[in-house]
Amino acid sequence: MSRAELGPVGIYHRVVVYLLFGILLLPLLGTLIYSISSSWSATIMPSGFTVKWYVELWSDPRFLHSFGQSLLVCVGALILSVVLILPLLFVVHYHFPKLDALMNILILLPFAVPPVVSSVGLLQLYGSGPFAMVGTPWILIGCYFTVALPFMYRAITNNLQAINLRDLMDSAQLLGASTWQAAFLVVLPNLRKGLMVALLLSFSFLFGEFVFANILVGTRYETLQVYLNNMRNSSGHFTSAVVISYFFFVLVLTWAANILNKDKSE
């Protein structure tokens, strides 16, 4: 569309959007430049550029180990969320639709309690006894599961409301499908986009979670954010490389998921 077709109002809106987008990118751009600079202190621009910080980072076994551990607990929590949330949402929306209002309230409870308060309570509950899990990945998977619930629930609920679940189920059953066949073969494929959005939102949030990881496991099961906190007294160039690597990984993952989702829908 040309500028003449857009008109002055359309051009103004685009300028505002691009300006806001540029302002949001400025901190990330500054971090990126600092991560590839050899020295940057009293000058406007760095005195030189280098990739040694990234080489040092990705050759650090401790970083790779913490990166893998973060992936493990995030993926574990998301798998647990999908396994438990999908059947629950199907039952609520198909058999007990009046419970949706109550579920909307209950599902927000993890955000009602600050993570620090929750962590102190979990330390008291699981610090000793038969269910001593403090310092293990299992307690993180459980915590991350509760944190991911609101994202998973809202995204999938919106998708279920958009596809008209009852009509789909009734149509499939009229064609001879059982309830479970209709759920797996008809409803589930239509939830792909909502599920993808829920997984991406949850993963990007959980991968950067720090409070639960730092208090409940710390260095006994060092995740990426705990590693970044422990390396805060090292070179600023090095920590900037950690931040950019984290952002780039989430960006590539989101891009790949969108491409796969688009190919399947086409």
pLDDT digits 0-9 by tens, 215-262? 999 888 999 889 988 888 778 888 888 889 988 888 888 887 777 666
Q: What angle do CA 247, 249, 251 make, to 5 degrees?
A: 70
Q: How far apart are CA 244 and CA 131, in angstroms?
A: 38
pLDDT digits 0-9 by tens, 22-58? 898 888 888 888 888 887 776 777 778 888 889 988 9
Q: How far apart are CA 144 and CA 125, in angstroms?
A: 17
pLDDT digits 0-9 by tens, 84-122? 888 888 888 888 888 878 887 888 777 788 888 888 888
pLDDT classification of 133: cutoffs 50, 70, 90: confident
Which are the contacts of 159, defined by CB distance < 8 A and separation ≥ 6? 190, 191, 193, 194, 195
In this structure, the number of other CB atoms found within 10 A of the CB of residue 174 comes to 9
**Contact between residue 5 and residue 12 where contact means Cβ atoms under 8 Å apart:** no
pLDDT for 73: 94
Instruction: Please compute the mean of the pLDDT values over residues 171-194 and round it to a whole number.
Output: 83
pLDDT for 91: 85
Q: How far apart are CA 22 and CA 26, in angstroms?
A: 6
Domain with CATH 1.10.3720.10 in the chain: 58-265
pLDDT digits 0-9 by tens, 205-216? 888 888 899 999
**Contact between residue 239 and residue 232 where contact means Cβ atoms under 8 Å apart:** yes
**Contact between residue 135 and residue 217 where contact means Cβ atoms under 8 Å apart:** yes
pLDDT for 76: 93
pLDDT for 71: 92
Element (DSSP H or E) covering residue 235: none
pLDDT of 61 > 90? The answer is: yes
Closest by CA to 140, choosing from 62, 78, 56, is 78
Q: How far apart are CA 61 and CA 11, in angstroms?
A: 50
Fold classification of 58-265 (topology level):
MetI-like fold (1.10.3720)
Number of residues in the chain: 266
- The encoded tokens of residue 161 equal 């409301």
Residue with the two structure tokens 């309230």: 105
Amino acid identity of residue 78, one-letter, is L
Predicted TM-score (pTM) of this structure = 0.82
Instruction: Please compute the mean of the pLDDT values over residues 170-199 and round it to a whole number.
Output: 83
Alpha helices in the chain (DSSP H): 3-35, 52-58, 61-94, 100-106, 109-112, 115-126, 137-163, 165-174, 179-182, 188-190, 192-207, 211-216, 224-230, 236-265
